[in-house]
Amino acid sequence: IIVIKGDYHEGVIGLVAGKLVEMFHRPAVVMSVHDNLVKGSARSLPGINITDLLRSLPTPFLGLGGHAQAAGFSLDVSQVKTFTAKLEALANRLIPDSALVKTEHADLSFSLNNSSLSLAKLLHTLEPFGIGNPKPKFLFTDLTVLEDRALGSEGKHHKLTVEQGGITREVLLFNTKHHHPLKHLKSLICTLDINLWRDKQSLELIASYVET
């Protein structure tokens, strides 16, 4: 994914690139233009060394540095079109389709009884999360869905109330393709997050994978 837009701070384009990788499971390059100078930030997937990929291009970078999963660079605005074309061609040639298939993993198998607001607060102290420090993910199995509420005007997002062993929790599903209403979850991989509403904190599970 290659995006060039506006005059944004380097930190902002890095965050945008990371979010694009998270959403689309593709390496992402985001560039910002100021006068005749282009600054870019790149983020990648495990197994795809984005810095080496950029260094293998014949582009006359004004500056380039980084590591396997993140890079920053600068170049003259006159080089953007050629740079973009050569990067796309090189990526298409060197990155196999198998590297772009999203696989879900969990750091720990959990029960709803073990999940708590206090644990979410403890995990919060490990921030900032990102490349090199991914947010912990937890696997829950055999959950009963007590309630399934559609969110948003198009109903693409859902808020579930799930139950296991008498314990209930709220789960958010974003951009879900599952048929609703859901009644049972064979497995759920999610993060433990803190929801703040009217100055009151509560535990919220943010789903990244659901099997029904």
- 193: domain CATH number is 2.40.50.460
Residue ending a domain, choose from 36, 65, 100: 100
Residues 96 and 131 in one domain: no
Residues 126 and 59 in one domain: no
Residues 166 and 85 in one domain: no
Q: How many CB atoms lie within 10 A of CB 43?
A: 27
More confident residue, 177 or 166: 166
Domain count, the chain: 2
With 0.75 as the threshold, say if the pTM is over it: no
Residues 31 and 92 in one domain: yes
- Burial class of residue 74, CB neighbours in 10 A (0-12, 13-18, 19+): middle
pLDDT at 131 over 80: no
Predicted confidence band of residue 28 (pLDDT cuts 50, 70, 90): very high
Residue with tokens 């701070």: 9
Residues 14 and 79 in one domain: yes
More confident residue, 131 or 195: 195
Please report the pLDDT score of residue 132 as a whole number: 74
Residue ending a domain, choose from 71, 100, 129: 100
Q: How many CB atoms lie within 10 A of CB 138?
A: 20
Q: Which two tokens stand for residue 153?
A: 């005007």
Residues 92 and 127 in one domain: no
Residue ending a domain, choose from 100, 135, 160: 100
Residues 146 and 190 in one domain: yes
Residues 201 and 143 in one domain: yes
Residues 88 and 132 in one domain: no
Please report the pLDDT score of residue 152 as a whole number: 76
Please report the pLDDT score of residue 129 as a whole number: 84
Nearest to 6 by CA among 48, 34, 26: 34
Residues 30 and 73 in one domain: yes
Give the residue numbers spanning the domain of 121. Answer: 108-211
Residues 141 and 67 in one domain: no
Residues 134 and 161 in one domain: yes
